[in-house]
Structure formats: structure tokens, C-alpha cells
Amino acid sequence: MSEKLAIYGGTPAVNVNEVVSWPPVDKSDEKMVLDALYSKVQSRGTHNLKLEEEFSAWNGNKFALFTNSGTAALHMCLVGCGIGAGDHVLVTAYSWSSSATCILHHDAIPIFVDIDPETFLMDPDKIEAAITPRTKAIIVVQLHGLCNDMDKINAIAKKHGLKVIEDACQAHGAMYKGRKAGTLGDCAAFSFNQNKCLSCGEGGMFVTDSQEIFDNAAKLWSFGETSRPEQSRDYHAYALGWMYRNNELTAAYARSQLAKYDFYFKTLRENGEYLLKALQGTPNLLLPYEPEYATHNWYNFNLRLDFAKLGITDPVQQVKLRDAVAAALRDEGIVASVWQRFILPEMTVFAAKNAYGQGYPWSIPGADEGVDYSLEKFPNALEYSRKHISIVQTLRAPNGLDITEKVNQGIRKVFENIDQIDPDRIAAILEERRKKA
């Protein structure tokens, strides 16, 4: 292709007016939310309880608790599994910050593990080397909607007596050998933030099959009490507790969206598979990888620049070119972003080993022994953070293959004309736009 890039004044590949924004809202959502709005109980009532029942049935879990965020659900997982002050918890070096800050929420210490360069997930072959005498659990992040090799991870956990927590915040409907994310460990957390494949604006879900883990997590979820609001409460705090409950309006919206999720998932699968095939052979582009054991939900469809082929080795230049390519894709009408620019050990709270002041929780006697966040330990995560671009939302329902084909054309247009990408020129264009805004 030699067509002029849209960022330089050419015609965009995708007409943004044709793309339905996310999430799609219809009369069924309106009806459900209005029912909650006019209900006598708006804090925790029928819609909360029905949502938990419906989600656990849909996903295949015995227990579920609706929370105000995926981050809250992750904290509940830690507490449900008995993680406490000074304990170590393994987690991937590349993820959203909550995957690791949830560990700090209960005074435990994150131990980072580098990623596999093709799946972008925690490398199972590097887990055992990261286990310390204080390690109590592994948080397996099913990042971008792809499940990790859970048989291998569960075998390691069993060998060392560790709990397995799934961060399934992005993995609604994603599957591992025919089983859904959120059923593959001891407990799991989902997010219903607006960006997620299942959305109600803000919210989350904690799930488990263990009565003990559920009871421990439920205490944290509601003030440290042993009874939930729909039960007979004595209003006595039996443990350290937060207020992680959610409300009826949000639960009603989530119920309506859940009822349509199988259609959403089917559409995402069709669009993602089509795009993966259509982009084969595109120069300068590395495509995402879907192992045989996994079924991706394409929460993020990740592109990577082939810097080896482009001959760019300087990290600063890599980031400048990646950011310019992402901007060029956006001007082609594609929702493209750099999802997470930093690996977790780079973030100040971890690098400084100081979450609550005076170095706590790392200052707990013995807790910091052997804890090393040196960036050179995580080369694959660092490389990935510099080269990836995430395609989000444009592939989601009700947008179909007609829109996906235009996305394909836009990506090819940019990558086949990557010699036209001048990072400094594009940075100047973006700066001029900001001034005029």
C-alpha cells in the first residue's frame, strides 16, 4: 500500500462514525436499571443476589460476591487464601498495577516473575526459581484475555503447597482446555470496569469453590463481619474489614450485560480470529499467539513492532517509534493504545519498597530477605513494554467483520508504510492538536 497515512492528511481506513462505542446499551439495560432505580432497596438487594447467582452459574463457580471493583476482588482473594503480613506472593512482572498492589493491601510482599515473550503471561518455567521460604501463593494474571498454562502452574503450586489465585479481570469467557477462566485455581477476581468485555461501568466479582475461602473473603468485603447484609447481622467486626460492596443500579446493569455476553464473546472471537489470519505476513509486525490449550477472548488484540527486523536496538528510539505508530493507527480510526508502559518493578511503590511509610511492609523483620526488583531480572517484560500496541474495543460487538476488515486495512496501511512514520513529525502534529484543543 502507498496510500497517504491519515495522520498526514490521508483518508482514514475506518470511519469512526460506523463503529459502535462500548458497551452497547439497549432497552433491556434501561429496563433493568430502572427496575433497580425504583426499588425500595438500592444498596444490596435482589439484583446483587441474582447477579451473583447468574454469574456463578454462567462461569461455573460455587460461590460469588459482587464487589465495587476488580481490585477489591483481588484483595478478597488474598485474604480468602489466608495471606498476611510478611508473606510472599508471586505475580507477573507485567500487568496492571492492581495485580501486585492487592498484595500490599494485606501487608504481603510481591515477588515478580518475568513473562513468556510470546504469550505475554508469567513464564511457568521461571516460577520455581522465584519461590522463597515465605511464598504462600501465586497470582496468575490471565492478561489480555488469555489463560496461562494452568496445568503446569497448578502442579508447581501443589508441589510447594501454594494457593493459586486467578486475576481474571480481563478474561471473561476465556478458556483453558475447555474450562473457563476463574475456575482454574483456588479463587479468582473479575473486573466489570467500562473497558472490560463484560462491563457495568465499575464493579467486580470474587469467585471460588471453597466455603472457607469464601467466608474469609466475605469478612473483608463487609466491615470484618461474619454475616452479609442479607443475613442476620450482629454488626460486630471479627477481622480487619473494608466496605467492598456494590449497589443495586450497578448490579442491574451488570445482569443485563451478562445476559448478552455470549453474543459479545462470539463476536469478539470471530473478529479476533479474522484479524489474526488477515494480518499474516504484514511486514514489521509481530502478531499475538494463541496456544492450542487456550481460547482467547481478545480483550486486547496486541500488535508488536518487529524491532529486530527494523534494526532498532535503542530502547528510547523503540518507544518513540512505537508511540508514533500507535498515533498513526488511531488516526486511521482504530482504537489503539499503549496499554501499560511500565513493568511493575519499575513503579515507584515497588522500586522504593515503601507502601505505607518507613519501608513497610518490606520493613517487616525478615520479609525483605532475598527480594530483588532489579530490572535486569525481567528482560522479556521490559522488551514487551516497549514494543506493544493494543487494539481495543473496535473488535467488540456489535461491530462485525465489515469493521474488522477495515481495521485490517488500517493496520496494514501503517505497517506497510512504516518508513513514512517520523516520530518527531508525529509528536509535533500531536502537540499542535493539544494546543488547539
Report the b/e string of 134-155 with b at 16+ CB within 10 A.
bbbbbbbbbbbbbbbbbeebbe
- The 10 Å Cβ neighbour count of residue 239 is 12
Of 144, 171, 143, 166, the residue nearest 153 (C-alpha): 166
The span from the CA of 44 to the CA of 245, in Å, is 8
**Dist. CA 108–CA 88, nearest whole Å:** 6
Q: Which helix (H) or strand (E) holds 218?
A: helix 211-221
The one-letter code for the residue type at 98 is S
Of 196, 219, 320, 406, the active-site residue reads 196
**333 to each of 82, 110, 330, 414, how far by Cα in Å?**
47, 39, 5, 12
Q: Provide Rg for the chain, Cα atoms.
A: 22
Distances (CA, A) of 15 to 6, 183, 413: 11, 39, 15
Give the strand order in the sheet containing 175-176: 179-180, 175-176, 294-295
Q: Distance between CA atoms of 431 and 435, rounded to whole angstroms?
A: 6
Helices (H), 281-400: 307-310, 315-331, 348-351, 379-387
Measured CA to CA, the distance from residue 300 to residue 196 in angstroms comes to: 10
Q: Pairing mode, if any, of strands 88-92 and 135-141?
A: parallel
Beta carbons of 13 and 423 less than 8 angstroms apart: no
Q: Which residues, in sequence order, are bridge partners of residue 352?
A: none
Terminal-residue alpha carbon distance, the chain: 32
Active-site residue flag, 163: no
Hunting for cell 515503601 — which residue is that? 354
CB contact at 8 A, 53 and 66: no
Grid coordinates given for 98: 492492581
Amino acid at 14: V
Which phi-psi region, left, alpha or beta, contains residue 54 (left: φ > 0; alpha: ψ -120 to 50)?
A: alpha
Residues with active-site annotation: 196
